[in-house]
Amino acid sequence: MENYKSNRVLSLYSKLLKGEAVNKAQEAKNFEVTQKSIQRDINEIRTFIQQNDIENGFFETVVYDKSKKGYVLNKTELPFLTKSEIFAVCKILLESRSLVKLKMESIIDKLLKCCISEEDSEVISKWDMGVAVKEQRVMKIEYEKLKNSETVKRIIQPVGILFSEFYFYLVGFIQNIDKEKEFKNKDDIFPTIYRVDRIKNFEVTNEKFSVPYKDRFEEGEFRKRIQFMWGGRLRQVKFKYKGISVEAVCDRLPTAEIIKEENGVYWIKAEVFGDGIYMWLRSQGNDIELMED
């Protein structure tokens, strides 16, 4: 008898999910029960929906639609952010470096309190990739390369998530790769950068990895040196800047150090990761002259 009732409730719920209307009189006739039984089934479905975690950004409820002469599933977009969306907004704010620390912390604190419960604020980090980074769990990913749209499979040790130039990036050390064959520099000891939207599939495994304290990944220090999200070795560049705002250069390159200034021309050095620095230097035209690498 219990299985019969369960099948009936599931059948009604399935209809609602398909966008169909549930007519009490018709369903009571179909299942040979009273309309009160069907009403109890609908109430149970309502309770189930309300108790479910609202993580998809929508609130669902069962309402009576007069035009359809039956109950339908009504989906309404929630007026607040989901956990994943809050994680993304907080990450963008932190990476922007546009506000002083106290102001930034105040905004993030208010954002969390306005959007989610106190309990949920403690689990914002449970964005799947964030969990892998925090708990040092190995990930398997399928990644579509920018060049030729080739898809490769990688096993990585994720150590950070960064936001830059409109995209999120996952930073990790590759386990299953022949560096001599795949890398320009086989002795490269630095992590690889993956644009999150190009990760087609991923799995967070139960395998843990550990990094010695002296070798731990420091996201803040890494972020100072990689402004353009391109792979490559750690290098020091020196260049002359002849433009009108040396402050803009220092803001763009947090490790920039002015060596000297002469007649409005600045000699600058900066420590950076990757080859992306050259794209930026070239984009500045005659304002920048590369001195040495």
CA distances from 100 to 88, 96, 105 (A): 19, 11, 9
User: What average pLDDT does this structure show over 16-45?
Assistant: 88
pLDDT: which is higher, 167 or 137: 137
CA distances from 154 to 120, 199, 205, 207, 282 (A): 32, 10, 13, 15, 32
Compute how many other C-beta atoms are within 10 angstroms of the C-beta atom of residue 156. Answer: 24
Mapped onto helix, strand or coil, the DSSP state of residue 293 is coil
| Contact assessment for residue 151 and residue 145, using Cβ atoms and an 8 Å cutoff | yes
Percent of the chain with pLDDT over 70: 68
User: Given pLDDT bands bounded at 50, 70 and 90, which one contains residue 126?
Assistant: very low
pLDDT: which is higher, 242 or 109: 242
Percent of the chain with pLDDT over 90: 8
| Contact assessment for residue 227 and residue 276, using Cβ atoms and an 8 Å cutoff | yes
Burial label, 281 (beta-carbon count in 10 A; 0-12, 13-18, 19+) = middle
User: Given pLDDT bands bounded at 50, 70 and 90, which one contains residue 125?
Assistant: very low
200-216, pLDDT tens digit by residue? Answer: 899 999 999 876 544 55
Q: What is the mean pLDDT of the chain?
A: 76
User: How far is it, in rounded angstroms, from Cα 238 to Cα 159?
Assistant: 29
| Contact assessment for residue 179 and residue 173, using Cβ atoms and an 8 Å cutoff | no
The first and second tokens of residue 260, run together, are 């000297």
Q: In the predicted model, is pLDDT for residue 42 greater than 70?
A: yes
Beta strand 265-273 pairing with 234-241: antiparallel
User: How far is it, in rounded angstroms, from Cα 214 to Cα 156?
Assistant: 20
User: Which of 173-182, 185-194, 217-226, 260-269 has the weakest average pLDDT?
Assistant: 217-226
Most confident of 89-103, 156-170, 225-239: 156-170
User: What average pLDDT does this structure show over 220-247?
Assistant: 72
Phi and psi angles of residue 187, each rounded to the nearest 5 degrees, phi first: -95, 15
Integer-rounded Cα radius of gyration of the chain: 27
Residue 214: its pLDDT value, please? 40
Strand partners, 290: 239
1-30, pLDDT tens digit by residue? Answer: 556 777 888 888 888 888 888 899 998 898
Residue 115: its pLDDT value, please? 55
Residue 205: its pLDDT value, please? 93
CA distances from 202 to 46, 59, 140, 143 (A): 34, 28, 5, 9
Write a three-state SS string for 142-193. EEECCCCCCEEEEEEEEEEEEEECCEEEEEEEECCCCHHHHCCCCCCCCCEE
Give the Cα-Cα-Cα angle 186, 190, 192 (nearest 5 degrees).
90
Q: In the predicted model, is pLDDT for residue 118 greater than 60?
A: no
Residue 207: its pLDDT value, please? 93
User: How far is it, in rounded angstroms, from Cα 137 to Cα 117?
Assistant: 27
| Contact assessment for residue 207 and residue 140, using Cβ atoms and an 8 Å cutoff | no
What crossing angle do the helices spanning 35-51 and 2-17 adopt, rounded to 10°?
A: 70
Residue 123: its pLDDT value, please? 45
138-185, pLDDT tens digit by residue? Answer: 999 999 887 777 888 999 999 888 776 667 788 888 886 666 666 555
